[in-house]
């Protein structure tokens, strides 16, 4: 029995293979395999794409929250700086005319800054390494750390120190201690640290490509959620200033009344 040529064997194999391909069940199996493979690739590919987009969205949201918190902190620093400057102006006014001291000595308490920074965001970034890794920007993370460090300095050297000095003086409030209060020093320190905070904030925006318009839109949305709290804060500040003005008017009227009474006695 002959073995045949290699050509004959290849032809035989080809014929057998062609018969297999022509069978209906083989075609169904092949189509099922292709469909299943395509479905798997599509499912995992879509899931990976969705996951990537979700991570990018979460990352952007996180960046906006940080910048929002920074901007809120800067607003509190600005308000604190303004209070110190108003206090200095009142101090100068009393120094020029010491007779005003008795009328206005209690007004000074309204020009002692008492900013309360929200520490939530800073604590998240200082304790959660996963959050830091999510941002995937070392320079930005370092700048966040710098900002919150500078903010802590402001709270220590300006807010706390100023309140401590005022509280000590309040125990023996007189003209001399009032005129010696360190408004000028606190204003110097406030301006120095405020400039550093503004620079940190600006660099953070540039590093993450956040425009002023994008941040303003995000802040508008966030403040809309907490609109009642913001309104209460603005209302409280308005009433404090009104109280200061009313106290000054009342004290002035009391002095005028006393002066008038003395003249009538004469």
Model confidence pLDDT, tens digit, residues 222-242:
877 655 454 445 555 555 555
Whether the per-residue pLDDT at 25 is higher than 60: the answer is no
Confidence at residue 2, expressed as pLDDT on a 0 to 100 scale: 47
Residue 126 makes CB contacts below 8 A (sequence gap 6+) with: 145, 148
**Distance of alpha carbon 191 from alpha carbon 77, whole angstroms:** 9
- Residue 103 within a domain: yes
Residue found under tokens 């002959």 = 2
Could you tell me the two tokens for 15?
């014929």
Within a 13 Å sphere around the CA of 193, how many CA atoms are in the beta-carbon half?
27
- Residue 260 within a domain: no
- Residue 135 within a domain: yes
Distance of CA 192 to the CA centre of its chain: 20
- Residue 13 within a domain: no
- Residue 57 within a domain: no
- Residue 181 within a domain: yes
Nearest to residue 215, comparing CAs of 142, 145, 206, 144?
A: 206
Whether the per-residue pLDDT at 15 is higher than 70: the answer is no
**Distance of alpha carbon 74 from alpha carbon 257, whole angstroms:** 44
Prediction pTM value: 0.65
Nearest to residue 73, comparing CAs of 104, 40, 110, 115?
A: 115
Whether the per-residue pLDDT at 30 is higher than 50: the answer is yes
- Residue 192 within a domain: yes
Domain range for residue 122? 63-225
- Residue 74 within a domain: yes
> Residue 47 — very low, low, confident or very high, per pLDDT cuts 50/70/90?
very low
Quote the number of domains for the chain: 1
CA angle, residues 128, 129, 133, in degrees to nearest 5: 125
Question: Helical H runs in the chain?
Answer: 6-21, 24-96, 101-104, 120-127, 129-135, 138-154, 161-170, 175-179, 183-208, 212-225, 227-265
Higher pLDDT, 17 or 163: 163
Question: What's the whole-number average pLDDT of the chain?
Answer: 76
């Amino acid at each position: 029995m002959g073995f045949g040529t290699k050509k004959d064997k290849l032809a035989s194999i080809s014929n057998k293979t062609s018969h297999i391909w022509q069978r209906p069940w083989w075609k169904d199996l092949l189509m099922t395999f292709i469909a299943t493979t395509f479905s798997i690739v599509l499912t995992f590919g879509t899931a990976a794409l969705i996951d990537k987009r979700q991570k990018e969205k979460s990352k952007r949201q996180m960046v906006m929250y940080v910048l929002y918190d920074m901007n809120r902190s800067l607003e509190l620093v600005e308000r604190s700086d303004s209070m110190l400057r108003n206090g200095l102006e009142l101090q100068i006014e009393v120094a020029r005319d010491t007779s005003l001291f008795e009328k206005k000595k209690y007004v000074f308490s309204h020009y002692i800054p008492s900013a309360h920074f929200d520490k939530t965001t800073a604590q998240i970034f200082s304790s959660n390494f996963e959050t830091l890794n999510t941002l995937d920007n070392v320079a930005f993370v370092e700048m966040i750390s710098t900002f919150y460090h500078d903010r802590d300095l402001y709270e220590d050297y300006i807010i706390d120190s100023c309140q401590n000095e005022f509280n000590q003086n309040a125990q023996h409030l007189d003209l001399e201690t009032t005129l010696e209060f360190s408004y000028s020093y606190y204003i110097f320190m406030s301006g120095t640290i405020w400039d550093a905070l503004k620079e940190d904030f600006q660099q953070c925006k540039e590093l993450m490509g956040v425009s002023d318009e994008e941040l303003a839109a995000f802040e508008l949305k966030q403040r809309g959620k907490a609109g009642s709290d913001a309104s209460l804060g603005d209302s409280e500040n308005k009433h404090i200033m009104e109280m200061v003005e009313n106290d000054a008017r009342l004290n002035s009227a009391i002095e005028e009344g006393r002066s008038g009474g003395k003249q009538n006695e004469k």
